[in-house]
Structure 1
């Protein structure tokens, strides 16, 4: 016990000296602390692995940083001009923009001036370069993202009906098969310096398992969104490393092998997910709102407040971004849910995948 306290004191002293001079050398630390240079190197290595120190210049971690890991795609969205008629051509309008769950969450946070970074994969073509450029312009750090040679940037094509509800979506996400545990390992000091880590299930099964197991071992905060019903199968049986899991009604049903047609069935599914180790479960019910189950057992159903329903694309990512914003600004879990709902309310009322959010708009929406 005495030895452990000594280690903590040494760690704290090293961090104090680095905070005073980020460019201090190991020799200078050795002289100030009365330790051998090899001992100092050992302390530095441990602090770097824990994410307390980032980079060669001994940059200390930023407490409010959020790292988003997962998909960044070219989004192609088509909306019919009248009720959908199957088996024939439908008049429609189309737009193209930036997409991907992790990327959208990151952009929502960037627009709110949060300290957020994105780790994703893009192809070595014009689409990939444009996607990262657009994301960076909205305040997101993309320096940890990877360009994969001879691969195409992911694409997501959605068809909405005249009311904005999703009818069908198809995705070409083959590039994410290159998202290996080794890529995360190489960037772990950056990831570990985050207050919260967000990931989507565009990551391969082996990479998700690695991430969940590692954050549980290191007691870090990991929030996960399941992206789609087929990709729920990528999650391991043991979900103990996940602090917050975001799922839709259909994804929750797939994960728990149940049917969800009522609030009671929603509650049962959330309980089953909690039984697999998830601390907090949020089930998104589209225009109805969200069902929330916390690790304390407390449950809530939160309804949206929307004047005009325009388009549901990006609403879930806005909710997650709003919650993360609340969490990293010292809001309680309950209040963070309210911030998330305020962000999704704004997004429902625009045709944009990511609304032009401001903190003033969120506060006004919460008051109303």
Structure 2
């Protein structure tokens, strides 16, 4: 079994969903929902549900919310490697969603993540964990210097590396780490923040992001075709039409989970992207950020609805390299 280590956010997501048409500056009827979340944690739980051995390393507070995160890790099969600050609050993300599930506004209370310094990566237990990993995934909730140190340590250990952008503001924290990064998962707003311009087509993004120093990545575009690139290979996949949208929260994290699971199983770029799009589709049909029914069998069913990848350019027999199995 392939080992994955995730360094990133594992906190509480609070989402208020407006019941009808959104009226800004006024009280809107709706419902409130709370669950464990975080970009890295969502992806970690998705990968664990798909069968990978996943360890999650994140700070949290010694409060009831921290216990909720711990229970969510156990339920998904994630190995919980958290370090707890007993006198601090667990970080939280609070979002207001429209009736159709799209985001209106969000607030991130995540000061605790600044306590995750590069010094913590020197712990023998974490060094050993990375030494045994085939893949290290980070998210941009952590400080820039910690992200760089974690990805550099992973590359030195021979692991593949990947990152989740989180937001247009936070993705800048990853810029110093680009030399150590194999794959970056981001949406169009985050891609434009890094590349300095916005592409009007899926196939325009690889050149923009390569110009910014990114070796490989995946750009999601809502209901339009997603694009993945690595080396000389570029692939696009159009997501299936989903009439009954549950909640878009966690869709990008699920795509990263599905993509990376396929990567660890030796799939080519186009099939990795199809798997990611399929996992995202399973998630947006669910009201949860990580669908309870996400599994290899459920993903296989969803892939019947996902169109074949369009390969725009690749070398013959191109595959994304991965660390050899033990």
Q: CA deviation at 1:268?
A: 4.1
Matches within 5 A, 1:1-368: 64-142=2-80, 144-186=81-123, 187-237=126-176, 239-260=178-199, 262-263=200-201, 267-356=203-292, 357-368=294-305
The 3-state SS of whatever aligns with 2:35 is strand
Q: CA RMSD in A?
A: 1.7
Q: CA deviation at 1:353?
A: 1.2
Are the counterparts in 2 of residues 68 and 102 from structure 1 also a CA contact under 8 Å?
A: yes
The 3-state SS of whatever aligns with 1:239 is helix
Q: Which has the higher contact order (CA 8 A, sep 6+)?
A: 2
With the length of structure 2 as denominator, give the TM-score of the two structures. 0.87
Q: CA deviation at 1:231?
A: 0.5
Count of aligned pairs: 302
With the length of structure 1 as denominator, give the TM-score of the two structures. 0.78
Are the counterparts in 1 of residues 206 and 234 from structure 2 also a CA contact under 8 Å?
A: no
Q: Which residue of 2 aligns with 1:17?
A: none
Radius of gyration: which is bigger? Answer: 1
Q: Deviations over 1:20-62 (max 9, x none)?
A: xxxxxxxxxxxxxxxxxxxxxxxxxxxxxxxxxxxxxxxxxxx
The 3-state SS of whatever aligns with 1:240 is helix
CA separation in 2, counterparts of 1:324 and 1:292? Answer: 12
Q: CA deviation at 1:267?
A: 4.1
Any gaps of 5 or more consecutive residues in structure 1? 1-62
CA separation in 2, counterparts of 1:275 and 1:257? Answer: 10
Are the counterparts in 1 of residues 239 and 281 from structure 2 also a CA contact under 8 Å?
A: no
Q: Which residue of 2 aligns with 1:5?
A: none
Please identify, of 282-291 and 150-159, the stretch whose mean Cα deviation from structure 2 is larger. Answer: 282-291
The 3-state SS of whatever aligns with 1:346 is helix
The 3-state SS of whatever aligns with 1:298 is strand
Query: Which structure has the highest helix share of the two?
Result: 1
